[in-house]
Amino acid sequence: MKIATFNINNVVKRLPNLLAWLGESEPDVVCLQELKATDDAFPIEAIRSAGYGAVWKGQKSWNGVAILARGAQPVLTRSALPGDSADKQARYIEAAVSGVLVGCIYLPNGNPQPGPKFDYKLAWFQRLVAHASDLLVAGVPAVLAGDYNVVPTDSDIYSTRGWEKNALLQPQPRAAYARLLRDGWTDGLSRAYLGRPPFTFWSKIRNAWARDAGLRIDHLLLSPTIAPRLAEAGVDHWTGYEPDSSDHAPAWVLLD
């Protein structure tokens, strides 16, 4: 079972990129972030024609998340992260696919920091930690995949120079991510690589993609009931060379 996460950065604009990648990589489950489209604008017919069922939560101009399943219809379990009913940003969706609960995450960026956007990031992260803990207590076989907007360690970025004040590298979100790992979640990419895991995001300037001057901010966390099934993981870096590509590359895990 191949589960992937892909910040598509506008699903309508980059639909050709998405369809080409689906045809080449053939993931069984896909978590998409930054749809930048309303529910009505989500290109469901094209996705169904590619062989995928889908559930999604859109939002005009920004945010938006979706879960796709090859040859199946995901069973929606949540369309928002619990813990704050007033939060209307489309950043979390959850569905059951082939016996696995899949949570699709688009964690707030948090810049500029300090400030209200960073405070929102930390509060959202704590809600995620709490929900993830509930899943562990329930013994649910789960994968929490998405754009976490956190660089876990200094080895997960090409260089920290110039990034010292960026919200992605601050101690508080790093501590929240580390808390997930301490609680029992396994970082699929990190576990699969003996050395440094591959990056998943590159700036569109200064030829960063070709130089591999990137960051690892897209993660797939596996529950203890899933982690022993991890066989392989990777990042489809080649997608960045396609015309009008996203600034993220799909990251994936393969489960036995």
- Could you tell me if 145 and 93 are in contact, meaning their C-beta atoms sit under 8 angstroms apart? no
List per-residue pLDDT tens for the chain, 256 residues long.
999 999 999 999 999 999 999 999 999 999 999 999 999 999 999 999 999 999 999 999 999 999 999 999 999 999 999 999 999 999 999 999 999 999 999 999 999 999 999 999 999 999 999 999 999 999 999 999 999 999 999 999 999 999 999 999 999 999 999 999 999 999 999 999 988 899 999 999 999 999 999 999 999 999 999 999 999 999 999 999 999 999 999 999 999 9
> What's residue 148's pLDDT?
99
> What's residue 136's pLDDT?
98
> What's residue 194's pLDDT?
80
> What's residue 195's pLDDT?
82
Structural tokens at position 193 = 């690589």
d(CA 243, CA 239): 9
> What's residue 230's pLDDT?
98
Sequence length of the chain is 256
d(CA 216, CA 168): 10
- Could you tell me if 27 and 6 are in contact, meaning their C-beta atoms sit under 8 angstroms apart? no
Q: What is the pTM of this model?
A: 0.98
> What's residue 177's pLDDT?
98
Phi, psi angle pair for 252, to nearest 5°: -150, 160
d(CA 142, CA 144): 7
d(CA 93, CA 61): 18
Domains in the chain (CATH in brackets) are 2-255 (3.60.10.10)
